[in-house]
Amino acid sequence: MKLIENWFSERYSENLQLSFRVSDQLLSVKTDYQRIDVFDTYDFGKLLAIDGTVQLTEKDEFVYHEMITMFPFYHMDKPPRKALIIGGGDGGVAGQLIKMGLESVINIEIDNQVVEVCKKYFPDLADSFTSPKVDLRIEDGIKFMKSSAEKFDLIIVDSTDPEGPAEGLFGQDFYRDVKNRINPGGIVVAQSGSPFYQPKALKMAYNSARSVFKHSIVYTAFIPTYPSGFWSFTMSSDSEMKPSGEEIKSGKYFNSSVLKGATQLPEFVKVILSE
Amino acid sequence: MKLIENWFSERYSENLQLSFRVSDQLLSVKTDYQRIDVFDTYDFGKLLAIDGTVQLTEKDEFVYHEMITMFPFYHMDKPPRKALIIGGGDGGVAGQLIKMGLESVINIEIDNQVVEVCKKYFPDLADSFTSPKVDLRIEDGIKFMKSSAEKFDLIIVDSTDPEGPAEGLFGQDFYRDVKNRINPGGIVVAQSGSPFYQPKALKMAYNSARSVFKHSIVYTAFIPTYPSGFWSFTMSSDSEMKPSGEEIKSGKYFNSSVLKGATQLPEFVKVILSE
C-alpha cells in the first residue's frame, strides 16, 4: 500500500476516511488471499491492516479481544474447556482463551502469512501459538466445519468483514455446520460489523445465526480504530444465555458493568435487527 | 478553512484525523469567539464545525441531542417544566426540550453568529428559536449564572470542548453557580468529551460536578462523527437520580435499553474517574 505523506488512511466509504500518521511502514505483502500491511503509527503503536482495513492496533486491540472472549465466557453455565477459533491468525483470541483457563483451543486460520506477520510484528499476541494448549491449523474454516467431527464448548468467529474470504462465515450454511460442532450449553460468537456503516453485515450474521440457533444476542463495544467506533458481536446458543451472577474478572474494557450494558442496544440498532 | 482536494479533516491529534469528502463549502467565518465552518458532505449531509471540530452533522446529530436531553429527563421524579441551556446555539437541544413538553426554556449562547449560521443552514434545528417557549439570549453563560436569580429544573451545558470560550464551563466555580440556579430535585447535565482521547476533560467535568453536587453519574453514547466515536456526559443532582420505571418514549437512539445501559462504563473509563 502506498502512503500519502506518511499517512495511512482507511476508507470507510468513498467519502469518509480515518487516517493515522505513520512513523514506519514495516510490511506490505500480497498473499493468496489478501493484502497485509503493518505500520508503526504515532498514536496507536503498531497497526495491522488487511485489504486496507484496520484489524488491530497495539493500543486498542484489548477491546475487541476481551469482548469476543470474556463476554460469551460469562454467559455460560459452566466454564468452557474446549474452544474453536475460526480466523484469529493474530493470536489475540487464543491468548485470551488461555488466560481464561481454556484447556484446549483449535485455531483455524486460512492465511499462513497472517500468522507469520503477527509472529514477527505482534509477538505479544502471536506468542499464544507457542502454548501446548493451542493447536494452530492453516486451513479453510468453512471446510473444517464440514469435515471435522470434533465438538466444542465455545466457537469464536474472528473474521474479516463479509467481503473477500470471510463472506461465507456470515451465512446460514456456515451456522448449520457450527451447530453440529457445538456441545450442549455451548455458545458461538462472531464479530458482526459496525451497526452504523455495515447494517447489512450485522443483519446477515444475526439472521443466519437465529435461523439455526434458539437464542441469539447482539451486543456492542466501543472500538476507536474500527469504522464509526461502534462495533457489534452476535452470540448464539441453543441454551438460554444469561449474564453470570458470579464474580467477574475485569479486563481493561470488560467488567461486570459492561456485562450488563453491552446488550442494551440503541433504537437504530433494534430497528436494523427487526427489519 | 482551506480544504485539501475537497476533504474536510478534523484533527484528533497531530497524528490522527477523520476526513469527510465535501460537495460544497457553504461558509467559513471568523467570529469574535471562534471560527465557524459549514460544509455539505456526501455521507453526513450538512456539517457544522467550530474551530475545526465537528459540532454536528445532519445525519447523526440525533444521538447527541437525544442523549443530552432525554437521558436526564427520564431520571427525574417529576417532569421538568423550566430549563436552561448554556451553549446550544444550533437550537437542537431547545427543540428536543420543547418536544418533551418543557414549558419554558432559556437558551444562553455566547456567539450570535452560531445562531445566525444555524438559522440559515440548519433550519430544522434552529427553528426551535421561533417557539414562544424558548427565550434565546446572546450572552456569556458563565456571567449569566452569576447574575441571574432564576431557578430551573433542568440545566443543560451544551458546550464546545474545554479549550476556548467553553473552558470555564468545566470548572468547579461554574458548578457552584449552577447549584444556586437549580430547583430541588433538579439535574444539571454537561457533555464531557471523549473518554478515550480527552480523559482530562471528562475528569475535570466529573470532579467539578461531584465536588459541588451530592450525586454525579457519567454516561456514554456512540457518536460516529465525534473523536473516537465514543462520548461522555456527566449528570449531577443533590437528589438521587434513578432511571424512570415509567413508559419511555424512544428516539432514534435513546430508548429504555439505553436508559439502562448507558451508565454501564467500561473498565478504562472507571479507572479515569477513580484516579
Q: Does A39 touch chain B (CB under 8 A)?
A: no
User: Is B194:B231 a contact under the CB 8 Å cutoff?
Assistant: yes
Q: Show the beta-strand stretches assigned E in B104-198.
A: 104-109, 134-138, 152-158, 182-191
Give domain status of residue B1, yes or no. Answer: no
CB contact under 8 A, A196 and B224: yes
A43: closest chain B residue by CA: B15
Give CA separation, A235 vs A34, A71, A129, B72, B224, in Å.
Answer: 27, 9, 25, 31, 24
Q: What is the ipTM of this complex?
A: 0.96
SS3 B115: helix
- B-chain CB neighbours of A43 within 8 Å are 13, 15-16
State how beta strands A230-237 and A215-222 pair.
antiparallel
pLDDT exceeds cutoff 80 at A165:
no
Mean pLDDT of chain A: 95
Q: What is the CATH number of the domain that holds B32?
A: 2.30.140.10
**What residues of chain A, 214 to 253, have a C-beta less than 8 Å from chain B?**
220-222, 224, 228-230, 250-253
Report the distance separating Cα A49 and Cα B262, nearest Å: 31
In a domain, A209, yes or no: yes
Shared domain for B40 and B99, answered yes or no, is: no
pLDDT of residue A121: 98
Same domain, A47 and A71: no
**What CATH code is carried by the domain that includes residue A248?**
3.40.50.150
- Which residue range is the domain that position B227 belongs to? 61-274
The answer for A 66-105 residues in CB contact with B (under 8 A) is: none
Inter-chain touch B228–A250, beta carbons under 8 Å: no
B46 in a structural domain: yes
Q: Do A21 and B16 touch (CB under 8 A)?
A: yes
* Best residue of A11, A12, A226, A257 to probe chain B, by most B CBs closer than 10 Å: A257
Q: Of residues A254 and B148, which shows the higher confidence score?
A: A254
Residues B49 and B71 in one domain: no
Q: Count of A–B CB contacts within 8 Å? A: 135
pLDDT at B162: 76
Same domain, B92 and B198: yes
Look at A14 and A4; give whichever has higher pLDDT.
A14
User: Does residue B176 lie within any of the structural domains?
Assistant: yes
Average pLDDT estimate for A162-175: 84
- Please report the sign of the dihedral spanned by the C-alpha atoms of residue B14, residue A66, residue A56, residue A202: negative
pLDDT in tens, A174-210: 999 999 999 999 999 999 999 999 999 999 999 999 9
Contact between chains at B253 and A230 (C-beta distance less than 8 A): no
Element (H, E) at A37: strand A35-41
| B267/A254 touch (CB, cutoff 8 Å), yes or no | yes
Instruction: Verify that A109 and A204 share a domain, yes or no.
Output: yes
> What's the domain count of chain B?
2
Distance between CA atoms of A29 and A115, rounded to whole angstroms? 13
**Beta-carbon separation of A253 and B263 below 8 A:** no
Q: What is the pLDDT of residue A245?
A: 84
Residue A4 pLDDT > 80, yes or no? no
Give A175 to chain B, closest Cα distance, Å. Answer: 28
Annotated binding site of A: 34, 65, 90, 109, 140-141, 158-161, 165
How distant, in Å, are the alpha carbons of A73, A85, A170, A180, B159 from that of A176?
22, 16, 11, 7, 51
Query: Distances in Å between the alpha carbon of A202 and those of A66, A125, A161, A205, B84?
Result: 20, 27, 10, 5, 40
| All cell numbers assigned to A229 | 467506533
pLDDT by 10-residue block (mean), chain B, 275 residues? 85 95 96 96 97 97 98 96 97 98 97 98 98 97 92 95 78 94 97 95 95 98 96 97 93 98 98 95
Query: Do B132 and B40 share a structural domain?
Result: no
Write down the pLDDT at residue B28: 97
Range scoring the smallest mean pLDDT among A137-141, A162-166, A264-268: A162-166
CB spacing of A16 vs B18 below 8 angstroms: yes
Give the residue numbers of A marked as catalytic.
158
Q: Is residue A1 a part of any domain in this protein?
A: no
Helical pair B267-274 and B199-212, crossing angle rounded to 10 deg: 60
Q: CB atoms < 10 A from the CB of A258, how many?
A: 29
Shared domain check, B137 and B194: yes
pLDDT of residue A208: 95
pLDDT at B254 (0 to 100): 98
| Tens-place pLDDT, residues A84-120 | 999 999 999 999 999 999 999 999 999 999 999 999 9
Amino acid at B34: Q
Q: Which residues of A are annotated as a binding site for spermidine?
A: 65, 90, 158-161
In Å, how far is A29's CA from the nearest CA of chain B?
24
Please state, in angstroms and as integers, the Cα–Cα distance from residue A38 to each residue in A47, A58, A102, B74, following that order: 6, 11, 30, 47
Q: Are residues A15 and A101 in the same domain?
A: no
**Are B97 and B30 within one domain?**
no
Task: Collect all residues of chain A within an 8 Å Cβ-Cβ radius of residue B196.
Answer: 222, 224
> What pLDDT score was predicted for residue B58?
98
Are A45 and A72 contained in the same domain? no
Residues 189-208 of B with CB under 8 A from A: 196-197
Quick one: pLDDT at residue A9? 95
**Residue A253 to residue B266, Cβ atoms within 8 A:** yes
Is residue A243 assigned to a domain?
yes
| Long-range contacts from A161-169, C-beta under 8 angstroms, 24+ separation | A161/A53, A161/A193, A161/A198, A161/A201, A162/A193, A162/A201, A162/A204, A162/A205, A163/A51, A164/A33, A164/A34, A164/A51, A165/A33, A165/A34, A165/A110, A165/A111, A166/A87, A168/A142, A169/A86, A169/A87, A169/A141, A169/A142
Residue A230 pLDDT: 97
* Positions of B marked active-site: 158
* Closest chain B residue to the Cα of A20, Cα to Cα: B16
For residue A117, being part of any structural domain is answered with yes
The residue out of A57, A73, A92 marking a domain boundary is: A57
- Nearest chain A residue (CA) to B219: A261
**Mean pLDDT to the nearest integer, A128-140:** 98
| Known binding residues of B for spermidine | 65, 90, 158-161
Q: Are residues A12 and A126 in the same domain?
A: no
Residue A211 lies in a domain: yes
Measured in angstroms, the CA of A34 and the nearest CA of chain B are apart by: 25
pLDDT at A68 (0 to 100): 98
The percent of residues above 90 in pLDDT, for chain A, comes to: 92
Strand intervals (E) in B204-247: 215-222, 230-237
Q: Tell whether the model's pLDDT for residue A258 goes beyond 80.
A: yes
B153 & B259 share domain = yes
